[in-house]
Amino acid sequence: MIIVMESGASDGHVRTVVDKIQKAGLNTHVSVGVARTVIGVVGDDRTKEMLRESLEVSPGVERVVAILQPFKLVSREFIPRDTIVSVGSSAVGGSRVAIMAGPCSVEGRDQILATAEAVKAAGGTILRGGAFKPRTSPYSFQGLEEEGLRLLAEARARTGLPVVTEAMDAAQLELVARYADMIQIGARNMQNYPLLREAGRAKLPVLLKRGMSATLEELLLAAEYILNEGTYQVVLCERGIRGFNGHTRFTLDLSAVPVLKRLTHLPVIVDPSQATGKWRYVAPMARAALAAGADGLIVEVHPDPANALSDGPQSLNLENFASLMTSLRPIAAAIGREV
Amino acid sequence: MIIVMESGASDGHVRTVVDKIQKAGLNTHVSVGVARTVIGVVGDDRTKEMLRESLEVSPGVERVVAILQPFKLVSREFIPRDTIVSVGSSAVGGSRVAIMAGPCSVEGRDQILATAEAVKAAGGTILRGGAFKPRTSPYSFQGLEEEGLRLLAEARARTGLPVVTEAMDAAQLELVARYADMIQIGARNMQNYPLLREAGRAKLPVLLKRGMSATLEELLLAAEYILNEGTYQVVLCERGIRGFNGHTRFTLDLSAVPVLKRLTHLPVIVDPSQATGKWRYVAPMARAALAAGADGLIVEVHPDPANALSDGPQSLNLENFASLMTSLRPIAAAIGREV
Amino acid sequence: MIIVMESGASDGHVRTVVDKIQKAGLNTHVSVGVARTVIGVVGDDRTKEMLRESLEVSPGVERVVAILQPFKLVSREFIPRDTIVSVGSSAVGGSRVAIMAGPCSVEGRDQILATAEAVKAAGGTILRGGAFKPRTSPYSFQGLEEEGLRLLAEARARTGLPVVTEAMDAAQLELVARYADMIQIGARNMQNYPLLREAGRAKLPVLLKRGMSATLEELLLAAEYILNEGTYQVVLCERGIRGFNGHTRFTLDLSAVPVLKRLTHLPVIVDPSQATGKWRYVAPMARAALAAGADGLIVEVHPDPANALSDGPQSLNLENFASLMTSLRPIAAAIGREV
Amino acid sequence: MIIVMESGASDGHVRTVVDKIQKAGLNTHVSVGVARTVIGVVGDDRTKEMLRESLEVSPGVERVVAILQPFKLVSREFIPRDTIVSVGSSAVGGSRVAIMAGPCSVEGRDQILATAEAVKAAGGTILRGGAFKPRTSPYSFQGLEEEGLRLLAEARARTGLPVVTEAMDAAQLELVARYADMIQIGARNMQNYPLLREAGRAKLPVLLKRGMSATLEELLLAAEYILNEGTYQVVLCERGIRGFNGHTRFTLDLSAVPVLKRLTHLPVIVDPSQATGKWRYVAPMARAALAAGADGLIVEVHPDPANALSDGPQSLNLENFASLMTSLRPIAAAIGREV
């Protein structure tokens, strides 16, 4: 940690800062430059972090520069090797690209079974589908709830595909965990800390989606909450950030993929459906995500998008999903992976 | 609702759209322009909204333009007069500007009592203080929980100031509601729908903070969830949005104040502390918020910011808070209000 | 064009709008809904566009919705087939992906000749290099100016690679056009209209970079300025937009590629060097750009990035550029193109 | 300057960095922490800045942290006292708030004279009006050019109000400077460096508007270009940044006002017309700007906004401008200034 003093800081200001640091058991190195004084701090990281805000308001301090990353368990420095997350009989993070696919919402038995079979046939590896839906408007369809979970389990029994589905609230976790193979935490809940903690205790792998304006540090700290409860099986998902471009629903931030792969050992997947909001742009962005190094995709697929109860405009129909899968194979091969 | 067809749309495409609309019991008006065909839809709004996504994916459709606002109960069209929200013996929304002030976190008895008394003495109208804290890092102080709520209640008993404090999770609501006069829903939980619904059932006024990249429609739809459960006593709060300017923590979007006042009957307040992240900028932005027409402020105040357990850098000390209050009076008077 | 009236608009308000439209020689269709009145306008587009702002301020008008795109010559509706832009002996826009590569700044004879030869050997198709440099700080290296242009011409003579280089000002255009095969207009000048007009008259192809917070409409309207002067040989370039993610310099908005390819007939390339600001992320984002459907790339390459006078951190050295080219071939093949 | 090494950096990596720094004549202090090594650099600032990019690409370096601000002449450290900028017989930066007002475009003699007289009568201090207009579309009205300048000069002769008007290109400067009292550089040209340099040589005060996604450092460095040519009479203007809120054209970033006032000695004004894009929100945001500490405003005023050739929707009519002026007086008084 480094404290940069204001150009007009007095000796007394510097001494106050140094005293505060030393009283906390840390060492200092004071460097008096032409324009301003800089104080380096050496010692225990947790202590430094606890001092940081206090030093920021000490008179004469211009700013405090943190040297270390604020996260630990998720960092590649802590675990250098790629984590492979097991989801039922499937996995996310190895050389085979994970393809999570299925409808935005489970709407009924025929819909989910037809989708699951088409996903399986086209080479998808995990079935997605929402039973509890976070909808912007209270007047939109809110999901089939437990009935939706039961149908997902039936689709798993039929196809062998493990199931990922969202929990919106800590109180829902027990119910969701009874049916799912992987718990999804949605973008709107990325900083719902009671939910993160509960998910970390549920003994299931977790799919954590990036909040729509979260920095990568905030995403990694949200994952840190889960790992801190004992679950190291976490997959991160880039799903588009808030932008000013009206042609897509969000701005897909694909450079987050190589940056995250450098900062963390956790697998990183991409959601081109939520990001673009338009089925027409899902395939090119899915291909781009793999080329950028993503460990997988999560894609919305519906047998009849024009009659979907949610997210129809961004859902691929079964035929377009099969075409997408075909087009992904040579891209994966080009970077030494397989679909 | 208006459907704009692509320039290459065929007669068959247009007929499919018209049939779908008429089958839903709505009327259409087709206007064939030089460059493209436009279809107007007349009839029940709820039906239109349910058709929207389906029409968007109909072949040949370029886009669907909604004419009506997606929210109802919160809109000024539904309730033209300003809502005044009662908080204990105080109120938000009338000619007197509401000043919610207090520490980010309740840290102990002396701290909260000293702050409450100073807030009262300087003219504050509501005491704020966090007992459950949503912290970006799992290693930060997470709040005193129920003990914090008890101390807030004691401070209320001592000063007469009603208390606003945050609930982070639907399961916490009952406990928080036992002690608080107003329930705060934080920016990170603006789209935590189970929490919004539960808050709407708690028979207490709600302070709803704008998510850090929420549009005003999303904020109003989040409030709509609460009103839809029967609670019309909701205060909206602008607290800064995610931006690229590193000098402040967030970008305070003050034009949201007059825009929201036009769209909704609910009161609108501003949080200059969270927005700027630096105590130095709290006073000018607090004055600007009042001048822009805000119905109140929520400000972080701490007797000893340098030793605060959270948000010290953005907290005013007791003396600076008193000065701020003094400087607000002529601003309020200038726009025909009082502090 | 559609005019949405406020819910409280009077008959007089509606009549004023209708009169204004009809006086301009356009036809109206008035649709009186339950909640509000909507007025459709039919007739000449240019006339509509000129009326738009006037209607927006007419009393009782809530908003005016434009149906047509504001650009013409650049639109795919105007020219349905892909434009192929010829740059000297090379081209941008066909099945062969264009690779523009070279240093940020021309720094000297040895540097530019060594780079040009390495670019040529690795399969690059166009040489880039700056002679006039728009630098954020007045104290940074500002380019070799005409001497830089002469060295670029020498590198072209030596390698046969056509040259693209930036003009920062209308007054520089004649000089730049004397040496270059393609004129680059940088992101900071995307809305420098005198420069756009002059470039449109220079009889050379133009590379137009997206401004760092430009919408796609603004980019296309900037290109429209150039086409409007008679030059239809324009290449658009996505180079990252301003975001809040500190790990890369800008946020590369790759979904702009398929969106632009749908809206316009002009070729679209991507600059992963400017976008990421770090050489480490250039290769994955270059691969992603091709997979997303880009017609080419512009990449910064320098024989000795650690001693570059500008943009060293984001420049590939010669060896890394050759590796990148190798890795791009199977990606291009996977989408039916070649490098 | 501080260099943070990667956690896996070798002794050789550290030595390479230290050697490079010492060879440039600077001193180093190496601090070996538990997790990583940090190297402090002491010595001449210009040399440090020139080394920065080179150090960033040195193997084993994680990042380089600059301690000093990248700008000099504009900084408050260089000139501690507020600069007062003289504009003809008027001034910007003293206790009297400057009010620049007038039409977006000069459209004709009657329009500009009527506006100028109303501005003068209501207490405006400087007349604004565009003769050369940067328009997003090539099909929009582009300004009256020299005829517009002549009319502005006539309005000045009639009212005594000094004139501020925009130059869009270095080549226009001589002409504009012949008629204007202050040269405006628009948001789209904030980083048009040939224009900035030429403006710095024109011996007239300059009004520099913030680019629509410029950081405050970029704005200050753009001003630095002007001061570096010898003109210290520069006024900065916050005019809204690109955001995602569709209700206003841009997001007015009012916290830029107190932040800039802290960083620089130059006066700072606010443009609520461009920022909001809607006349309805101009008055509240103008009041907020003064309350935040702005040294002035620039406001669009038109005698007949419904028939304006540009920016009608955001222009106040003469009556609304007079009301605004009346409402500003007590706000200014509240913060110890006058209108």
> B291 and D287 in contact by Cβ < 8 A?
yes
Strands (E), chain C: 2-5, 27-32, 37-42, 61-65, 85-87, 90-92, 98-102, 126-128, 163-166, 182-185, 206-209, 234-238, 268-270, 296-300
Confirm if C305 and C331 have CB atoms less than 8 A apart: no
Tokens 């969830």 label which residue?
B225
pLDDT category at A33 given cuts 50, 70, 90 is: confident
Give the β-pairing of C2-5 and B234-238: unpaired
Give the separation between CA A203 and CA A229, rounded to whole angstroms: 10
Residues of D in contact with B288 (CB under 8 A): 254, 288-289, 291-292
> C67 and B242: CB-CB below 8 Å?
no
- Average pLDDT estimate for B81-91: 97
Q: Would you say how long chain B is, in residues? A: 339
Residue C50 pLDDT level (bands cut at 50, 70, 90)? confident
C316/C272 Cα distance (integer angstroms): 11
Distance between CA A207 and CA A217 in Å, rounded? Answer: 17
Predicted pLDDT at C155: 98
Nearest to B223 by CA among B50, B49, B69, B72: B72
pLDDT of residue B31: 86
* Res A34 pLDDT > 80: no
Q: What is the pLDDT of residues B2-24, one digit of tens each?
A: 899 998 899 999 999 999 999 99
- Cβ–Cβ gap A68/D36 under 8 Å: yes
pLDDT band with cut points at 50, 70 and 90 for residue D66: confident
- B interface with D, Cβ–Cβ < 8 A, is 213, 215-216, 241, 243-248, 251-259, 262, 275-276, 280-281, 284-285, 287-293, 327, 330-331, 333-335
User: Is C36's CB within 8 Å of B67's CB?
Assistant: yes
* Helix (H), strand (E) at residue B322: helix B318-334
* Contact of C202 with C178, CB cutoff 8 Å: no
Kindly list the residues from chain B whose CB atom is less than 8 angstroms away from the CB atom of residue A168: 192-194
Which residue is listed with tokens 């708690």? B202
Distance of alpha carbon C263 from alpha carbon A248, whole angstroms? 13
Instruction: Reply yes or no on whether the pLDDT at C32 is more than 90.
Output: no
Position D339 pLDDT exceeds 90? yes
So what's the pLDDT on residue C242? 95
Which is nearest to D4 in space by CA: D35, D27, D26, D25?
D35
Q: Which of C208-217, C239-248, D25-34 has the highest mean pLDDT?
A: C208-217
Of C244, C200, C239, the closest CA to residue C219 belongs to C239
Stated pTM of the model: 0.96
pLDDT band, residue A196 (cuts 50/70/90):
very high
D328 vs D284: CA distance, rounded Å: 10
Over residues B67-88, mean pLDDT = 94
Domains in chain B with CATH codes:
2-65 (3.30.70.1140), 85-334 (3.20.20.70)
pLDDT of residue B43: 84
pLDDT digits (tens, 9 = 90+) for C89-130: 999 999 999 999 999 999 999 999 999 999 999 999 999 999
C35 to chain B: which residues are within 8 Å by CB?
Answer: 45, 68, 77
Q: pLDDT-derived band of residue A44, with 50, 70 and 90 as boundaries?
A: confident
Phi, psi for B37 (deg, rounded to 5): -95, 140
Q: Which of A5, A306, A25 is nearest to B58 (CA)?
A: A306
User: What mean pLDDT do residues C269-289 have?
Assistant: 97
The answer to whether residue A32 scores a pLDDT higher than 90 is no
User: What pLDDT is attached to residue C46?
Assistant: 80
Would you state the pLDDT for residue C7?
A: 86
Q: pLDDT tens digits, residue range A89-145?
A: 999 999 999 999 999 999 999 999 999 999 999 999 999 999 999 999 998 889 999
Chain C residues contacting B via beta carbons under 8 Å: 2, 4, 7, 29, 31, 33-36, 38, 40, 42, 45, 65, 67-68, 77, 242-244
User: What distance in Å separates the CA atoms of residue C165 and residue D116, rounded to the nearest whole number?
Assistant: 45
Q: Each residue of D100-112: pLDDT tens digit?
A: 999 999 999 999 9
Helix (H) or strand (E) holding A21: helix A11-23
Task: Supply the pLDDT for residue A43.
Answer: 84
Nearest chain B residue (CA) to C5: B67
What is the model's pLDDT at position C34?
A: 74
Tokens of residue C61, six digits: 């008008």
CB-CB neighbors (< 8 A) of D36 in chain A: 67-68
Beta-bridge mates of residue C102: C300
> Which SS3 state, helix, strand or coil, does residue D63 take?
strand
- For the cut 90, the answer to whether the pLDDT of residue A202 exceeds it is yes
ipTM more than 0.90? Answer: yes
Mean pLDDT of D232-253: 95
Of residues B138 and B44, which shows the higher confidence score? B138
Find out whether D269 and D236 touch, Cβ atoms under 8 Å: yes
Q: Do C291 and A281 touch (CB under 8 A)?
A: no
**Mean of pLDDT values over D69-82:** 94
- Mean pLDDT, chain A, rounded, equals 95
Longest CA span, chain C: 76
For residue B105, what pLDDT band results from cuts at 50, 70 and 90? very high
Q: Which residue has the tokens 């001449």?
A: D44
Q: Is C298 helix (H, G, I), strand (E, B) or coil?
A: strand
- Between the ranges A251-255, B9-13, C68-72, where is the mean pLDDT highest? A251-255
Report chain B residues whose CB lies below 8 A from the CB of A192: 168-169, 188-189, 192
CB distance C132 to C172 below 8 Å: yes
The Cα of C333 is separated from the nearest Cα of chain D by a number of Å equal to: 32
pLDDT for the residue D53 = 87
Cross-chain residue pair B137–A310, CB shorter than 8 Å: no
The token pair that represents C23 in the structure block: 């006086």
Q: Do C35 and B42 touch (CB under 8 A)?
A: no
Residue D175: which pLDDT band, with cuts at 50, 70 and 90? Answer: very high
pLDDT band at D76 (very low <50, low <70, confident <90, very high): very high
Beta-sheet pairing, C98-102 with A90-92 = unpaired
For B111-130, the DSSP string reads HHHHHHHHHHHHT--EEE-B
Give me the percent of chain B exceeding a pLDDT of 90: 83
Tokens of A312: 């129809």
Q: Which chains touch C (3 or more CB pairs under 8 A)?
A: A, B, D
For chain B, percent of residues with pLDDT exceeding 70: 100
Residue of C nearest to A289 (CA): C288
pLDDT digits (tens, 9 = 90+) for D264-285: 999 999 999 999 999 999 999 9
Rounded average pLDDT over B248-255? 97
Cross-chain Cβ contact A213/B213 below 8 Å = yes
Band (B46; pLDDT cuts 50, 70, 90): confident
**Per-residue model confidence as pLDDT tens digits over A274-303:** 999 999 999 999 999 999 999 999 999 999
Lowest mean pLDDT among A184-188, C251-255, D19-23, D265-269: D19-23
Residue B221 and residue B230: Cα distance in Å, rounded? Answer: 14
Mark yes or no for CB contact D31/A40 under 8 Å: yes
- The whole-number average pLDDT for the span D130-152 is 94
CA A212 to chain C, closest CA, distance in angstroms equals 12
User: Could you say which DSSP state residue D72 is in?
Assistant: -
pLDDT of C238-247, one tens digit each?
999 999 988 9
Q: Do the chains contact at D2 and A77, CB–CB below 8 Å?
A: no
Confidence at B186, pLDDT banded by 50, 70, 90: very high
Interface test with B, best of C41, C67, C263 (most B CBs within 10 A): C67
- What is the spatial distance between Cα C126 and Cα A31, in angstroms, rounded to a whole number? 49
Q: Where are the alpha helices (DSSP H) in chain B?
A: 11-23, 45-56, 109-122, 146-159, 173-179, 193-200, 216-227, 256-263, 272-276, 282-291, 318-334
What are D's interface residues with C at a Cβ cutoff of 8 A?
A: 46, 49, 53-54, 56-58, 70-71, 134-139, 168-172, 188-189, 191-195, 212-213, 218, 221, 224-225, 228, 241-242, 279, 305-308, 310-313
Over 90: is that where the pLDDT of B148 sits? yes
Q: How many C-beta atoms lie closer than 10 Å to residue A93's C-beta?
A: 21
Q: Are B29 and B42 in contact (CB under 8 A)?
A: yes
Average pLDDT in chain D: 95
pLDDT at C197 exceeding the cut of 90: yes
Average pLDDT over residues A155-164: 98
CB contact (8 A) between residue B54 and residue A312: yes
Q: For position C23, what pLDDT does the model report?
A: 92
C218-231 mean pLDDT: 97
